[in-house]
């Protein structure tokens, strides 16, 4: 059996719902071997972010080299990168080791409002990391910050996707989680030629901590396993929809998504099919 390996370069979330923890849980559930480079430690729970502690550049470079010298990822994702210096180190490692299948989730602000990326780093994100990305997955506020375009409707979302594409990434996927007025959660993909929408019913819930991380990790898992980009995005959409639809109800604030839910659904469907076959 082939073992597919995925790497996450991101921040640690002590509460376990976002960041490195969400990524590794998602890789594991989707049958991919997970590896991590930790850029920052956050003290975080369902109530918010209580502290942010970036790792030294030396510690980050050493983790990247340890992976690069021994374990080749089949795909990788970036999450919280915090500073321009960290972004430049990560971009240099991707280049040095020739890593492919790069998903950039341009994490900027936690849902509770805490900043996870310094303002000066946006420029490094645009000019150092986006040109290396196969897919960049901003939410609506992140797409606005990168493109400088205010998104109010489908036309301005398409315009922002085109602007971000010009920075050199191969695909832009603007997520629709923040479009609270819509009855659908629609993500918009642009590949330089045309647009494609990935839509699911919007679930009414406050338990959306880590949705972006989980979505990008599922996408990265699909790519690591050799699936094409649209099939990997469909997998990610199904995975996140299941994870949001069955919240765990832990903590007293904005709770995490349920990383078990997708596979539980798959197993239930298989059991159903087997039972029907017996009858």
Q: Where do contacts with ligand MP5 occur on this chain (CB under 6 A)? A: 10-11, 13, 18-19, 42, 44, 79-80, 107, 110-111, 116, 209-213
Respond yes or no: is residue 169 known to be catalytic: no
CA distance 28 to 25: 5
Closer residue to ligand MP5 (CB): 4 or 177: 177
Helix or strand run (H / E) with residue 41 = strand 33-45
Return the residue of 82, 215, 239, 262 that touches ligand ADP, per CB under 6 A: 215
Query: Residue 132 CB, nearest distance to ligand MP5 (Å)?
Result: 20
Does 208 engage in binding with ligand ADP (CB under 6 A)?
yes
Does 240 engage in binding with ligand ADP (CB under 6 A)?
yes
Return the residue of 177, 222, 255, 256 that touches ligand ADP, per CB under 6 A: 177
Closer residue to ligand ADP (CB): 65 or 122: 122
Comparing C-alpha atoms, which of 200, 205, 222, 216 is closest to residue 257?
205
258-266 — which CB contacts under 8 Å span 24+ positions?
Answer: 259/22, 259/25, 259/26, 259/29, 259/214, 260/29, 262/29, 262/30, 262/238, 263/29
CA distance 264 to 95: 38
The helix/strand/coil state of 205 is coil
The distance from CA 88 to its chain's CA centroid, rounded to whole angstroms, is 19
Q: Give the CA distances from residue 31 to residues 6, 97, 224, 245, 261, in Å, rounded to whole numbers and listed in that order.
A: 10, 24, 10, 21, 14
The answer to whether the Cα torsion of 162, 167, 168, 169 is positive or negative is: negative
Does 42 engage in binding with ligand ADP (CB under 6 A)?
no
Query: Residue 156 CB, nearest distance to ligand MP5 (Å)?
Result: 22
Respond yes or no: is residue 212 known to be catalytic: yes
CA distance 200 to 187: 9
Q: Give the CA distances from residue 132 to residues 3, 33, 240, in Å, rounded to whole numbers and listed in that order.
A: 25, 23, 25
- Could you tell which of ligand ADP, ligand MP5, none binds residue 80, using a CB distance below 5 to 8 A set by kind? ligand MP5
Closer residue to ligand ADP (CB): 93 or 107: 107
Query: Residue 19 CB, nearest distance to ligand MP5 (Å)?
Result: 3
Return the residue of 16, 84, 176, 255 that touches ligand ADP, per CB under 6 A: 176
Respond yes or no: is residue 211 known to be catalytic: yes
The helix/strand/coil state of 39 is strand
Respond yes or no: is residue 210 known to be catalytic: yes
Query: Residue 204 CB, nearest distance to ligand ADP (Å)?
Result: 7
User: Are 4 and 225 within 8 A, CB to CB?
Assistant: yes
Does 157 engage in binding with ligand ADP (CB under 6 A)?
no
Return the residue of 151, 187, 217, 247 that touches ligand ADP, per CB under 6 A: 187
- Write down the catalytic residue from 79, 212, 222, 255: 212
Q: Give contact residues for ligand ADP (rule: CB under 6 A).
A: 139, 175-178, 185, 187, 200, 202-203, 208, 211-212, 215, 237, 240-241, 244
State the catalytic residues: 175, 208, 210-213
């Amino acid at each position: 059996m082939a073992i597919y390996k995925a790497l996450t370069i991101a921040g640690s979330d002590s509460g376990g719902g976002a960041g490195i923890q969400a990524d590794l849980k998602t890789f594991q559930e989707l049958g991919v071997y997970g590896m991590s480079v930790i850029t920052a430690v956050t003290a975080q729970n369902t109530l918010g972010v209580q502290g942010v502690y970036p790792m030294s550049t030396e510690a980050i470079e050493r983790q990247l080299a340890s992976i690069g010298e021994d374990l080749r990822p089949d795909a990788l994702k970036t999450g919280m990168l915090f500073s321009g210096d960290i972004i430049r180190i990560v971009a240099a490692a991707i280049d040095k080791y020739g890593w492919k299948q790069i998903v950039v989730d341009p994490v900027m602000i936690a849902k509770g409002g805490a900043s996870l990326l310094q303002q000066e780093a946006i420029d490094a994100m645009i000019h150092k990391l986006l040109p290396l990305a196969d897919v960049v997955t901003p939410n609506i506020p992140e797409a606005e910050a990168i493109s400088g375009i205010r998104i109010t409707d489908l036309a301005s979302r398409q315009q922002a996707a085109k602007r971000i594409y010009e920075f050199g990434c191969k695909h832009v996927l603007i997520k629709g989680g923040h479009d609270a007025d819509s009855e659908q959660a629609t993500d918009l993909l642009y590949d330089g030629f045309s647009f494609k929408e990935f839509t699911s019913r919007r679930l009414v819930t406050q338990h959306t901590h880590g949705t972006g991380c989980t979505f990008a990790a599922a996408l990265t898992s699909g790519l690591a396993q050799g699936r094409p980009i649209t099939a990997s995005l469909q997998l990610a959409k199904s995975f996140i929809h299941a994870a949001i639809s069955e919240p765990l109800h832990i903590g007293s604030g904005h709770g995490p998504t349920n990383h078990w839910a997708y596979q539980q659904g798959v197993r239930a469907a298989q059991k159903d099919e087997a039972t029907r076959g017996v009858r």
